[in-house]
């Protein structure tokens, strides 16, 4: 029993590490420079753009080697620091998330209630006859996928 749970725990930890690493890698493989993209939207003189480029590069931690960025990412993640929002600079990401949570809950509660009641109603109806059960179940799998 311990071996089973130990193996499952190891798989979950490795999956978490891999998922977070992929999440960190995706922006680094995207074409272009995020700071140049951010500054490209602003209408700045060349000197001001150069100063702002240096500032944003340091602010987002892009002035250090990639391996150091990866270690800084994990350190910040374990301390609950999700960084600074690029689009709402200098607002912290955690503040952006906190501002969005009430709207998410406002959408989530009716969706959960609707799916619960509709799923129970359709499930009870489909259980009555064999042909409907054989039709609804694969349809449910397709819609879930």
* Three-class DSSP category at 90: coil
Pick from 31, 28, 94: nearest CA to 66: 28
Average pLDDT, integer, range 100-108 = 96
Q: Nearest CA to 82 among 100, 65, 63?
A: 100
SS3 of 84, please?
strand
pLDDT band, very low/low/confident/very high, at 128 (cuts 50, 70, 90):
low
20 and 77 Cβ atoms separated by less than 8 Å:
yes
DSSP designation for 45: -
Query: Does residue 129 surpass a pLDDT of 70?
Result: no
For residue 141, pLDDT over 70 is answered with: yes
Q: How confident is the model at residue 60 (pLDDT cuts 50, 70, 90)?
A: confident
> Nearest-CA neighbor of 84 among 63, 61, 65, 66?
61
Q: CA-to-CA distance for 80 and 13, rounded, in angstroms?
A: 18
CA 45 from chain center: how many Å? Answer: 35
């Amino acid at each position: 029993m311990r071996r089973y749970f130990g193996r499952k725990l190891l798989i979950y930890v490795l999956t978490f590490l891999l998922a977070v690493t992929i999440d960190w890698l995706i922006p680094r493989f995207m074409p272009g420079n995020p700071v140049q993209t951010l500054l490209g939207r602003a209408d700045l003189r060349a000197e001001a753009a150069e100063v702002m480029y240096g500032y944003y590069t340091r602010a987002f931690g892009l002035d250090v080697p990639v391996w150091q960025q990866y270690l800084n990412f994990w350190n910040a993640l374990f301390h609950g620091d999700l960084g600074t929002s690029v689009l709402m600079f200098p607002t912290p990401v955690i503040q952006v998330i906190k501002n969005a949570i009430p709207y998410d809950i406002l959408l989530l509660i009716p969706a959960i209630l609707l799916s619960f009641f509709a799923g129970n109603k359709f499930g009870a109806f489909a259980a009555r006859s064999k042909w409907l059960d054989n039709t609804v179940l694969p349809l449910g799998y397709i819609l879930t996928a």
